[in-house]
Structure 1
């Protein structure tokens, strides 16, 4: 049974976006085995980093906290953690990125604008909630603010949003953001799109994968919520593209087949953001004080610790994280760690002993310096 009323092929004629990145080869299509692809990605990432740094910077980047929620330790710190806590906490955040095109047009992109209320019905989290007493759930889940409330505080009108971007569509329900083609029983009608001018930038491979889910994928997607989402709400891309000055989407397959990563150039250098890992120290585990990470990395000869709730293609995900690690500049606050901003970042909580991060970013803040005369 198909999950969508339309196939990935149905969106082939929709408008394209951005400038393709020729420097980066699609990892999932690079010849050779995963080891050969790993060697290639190190070279390609270094070349793209030099190229990308010359594209300029966006006008502003603002970070907005959405929700802190529980997540299995065995998923977030794949095989490496020795914490006694079965769950850790992650904080999902939205980035608001603004820039101007060369012709002067302004653009606004929302990265990870999760509809937290509807995201709860993701099969995995829905089952977890049903097994968790309310008094415990209230201690483990904290909502910080909605997407629309954050935009109002920034004085950004919903109609000014051009693009919605997610590293992948796990847990996401887009119906309230982009509208539907039919009545939605659970929403009490046919919602008008909150973002009437916005398009969802997504890898064509993920649309293809979602059209008929594999059992490994089913706990993490809400296929029913896409049945009435119009195909024209999507801007499907293939591979990596530069969207604007200092703003790029890089394809990073593995966590899901069509995973993608946001890359931005800022006043402190290049930042990378995805959910491929849940903490900056997962890129440099030798500096981690989390129980088990440094030892596990050393003993197993693995230089990164994956976020592995979904193991669609683990070797490719590892290679994608190496790509991200190569692109990200060192953190100015502590150069042992990189400017990797997890879209869902490990967050310390007294309820989860042994999972307090050694280092946290919590925010990306960037504003382009204005020229003076």
Structure 2
């Protein structure tokens, strides 16, 4: 199908941020996945020491978008003993604001999912068609929309400078960044809701989306990118510091071009991505979820992955350990890290055995 870029054709797009030399491409470590794991820990510890010197953003606000069902076998990969085939996850958007050294204001939306269009992702579209409406309505709850939350916060659409996702699974960005041609399903040619915003994405993911592997196809909506303007994207290679206390760290595995948001706040360092769906998945020895602690002990694995895709599982494991190394411990319960899942496990009576031991619920920060 037609695509704005082909494999190897994204090198001329603009980039953003200051490269983090401490965090190198672990795929270049020659001695295999075990050596890469050790390198992930060492590099994470080094960046954790230097990152606070960049400062803190002005504010971070959490906005709930939607709670939806998700297969237990994906979200708690191999570890869960829950009888429920589905658990619930809540998708949330983070709104991060800061000023550059020249006084320029920046507004980053992390995970601004257009969940109305995201439902047409092949996997979720198929699941919806097979689920009776009465059950689907009980398991799916809409909390708010991206435009609605921004209006509540007093942020004008033209003030948004950056959009970012940990990866582009399920995402349809046409209403956010506009298109270069009319869209039949949208009733015309949508104007960009965020006319000044650029999408920060790993170059690896843009290349992969141009030539999807069959394992990837259930989770992407490639047709939604056929007519998006290429100049709306800011591809990066690896990890960068975007602003004071705001960084993007490359965390491949869940997808080839996965990335995590790292924030330095008044409570220390936070990390956010969908590599895992609960903070306790980083310290399963403290989890009361059925099976997790026992599974971790038996197989001597220190993290429980979110594994709806298994593009490079060992790399994802190493990336999660990097995230765990970067994050400070929660002030509410030091057994758990300040890892804020972009899709967080949420207890529901419909899903017995999947109620989380600990939830963050929100990530908030305001500069003193």
TM-score, length-normalised on structure 2? 0.99
2:361 aligns to what? 362
Counterparts of 1:28 and 1:173, CA distance in 2: 29
**Partner in structure 2 of residue 52 of structure 1:** 51
Structure 1 counterpart of 2:39: 40
Equivalent residues of 1:252, 1:260 under 8 A apart: yes
Q: CA 1:8–1:59 in structure 2 vs 1: closer, same or farther (change >3 Å)?
A: farther
Whether the aligned pair in 1 keeps the contact of 2:68 and 2:89 (CA below 8 Å) is yes
Contact map agreement 2:6 2:211 (CA 8 A) in 1: no
Hey, what does 1:285 align to over in structure 2? Answer: 284
For the pair 1:131 / 2:137, whether they are aligned, the reply is no
Unaligned 5+ runs, structure 1: none
Which residue matches 1:220? 219
What is the Cα deviation at residue 53 of structure 1?
1.3
- After superposition, the C-alpha distances for 1:231-270 in whole angstroms (9 at most, x for unaligned) are 1010000000000000000000000000000000000000
- Is the counterpart of residue 210 in structure 1 residue 214 in structure 2? no
SS at match of 1:92: strand
Contact 2:41 / 2:322 at 8 angstroms: preserved in 1?
yes
Measured in 2, the distance between the counterparts of 1:201 and 1:122 equals: 21
> Which residue is 1:63 aligned to?
62
Distance in 1, matches of 2:266 and 2:30, equals 37
Pair 5,18 (structure 1): closer, same or farther in 2 beyond 3 Å: closer
CA contact (8 A) 1:170 1:221 kept: yes
1:22-73 CA-partner distances (Å, limit 9, x unpaired): 0001123332210010011110100011110111000000000000000000
In 2, Cα distance between equivalents of 1:204 and 1:286 = 36
2: CA distance, partners of 1:115 / 1:144: 12
Does the Cα contact within 8 Å between 1:3 and 1:210 map onto a contact in 2? no
Which segment drifts farther, 23-32 or 185-194? 23-32
- How many residues are treated as equivalent by the alignment? 368
Q: Determine if contact 1:27/1:253 at 8 Å carries over to the other structure.
A: no
Aligned 1:132-147 pairs, distance under 5 A: 132-147=131-146
2:350 counterpart of 1:351: yes
Structure 1 SS opposite 2:53: coil
Offset of residue 12 of structure 1:
1.9
- Contact 2:4/2:230 (8 A) holds in 1: no
Query: Equivalents in 1 of 2:250, 2:265: separation in Å?
Result: 20
Task: Give the structure 2 partner of residue 154 of structure 1.
Answer: 153
Contact 2:44–2:325 (Cα < 8 Å) also in 1: yes
Is contact 1:3–1:223 with CA below 8 Å preserved after alignment? no
Query: What is the RMSD computed on CA atoms of the aligned residues?
Result: 0.8
In 1, the alpha carbon distance for the partners of 2:27 and 2:153 equals 39
2:104 corresponds to which residue?
105
**Which consecutive segments of 4 or more residues in structure 1 shift more than 6 A?**
none
Deviation for aligned residue 1:5: 3.6
In structure 1, what is the Cα distance between the partners aligned to 2:338 and 2:57? 17
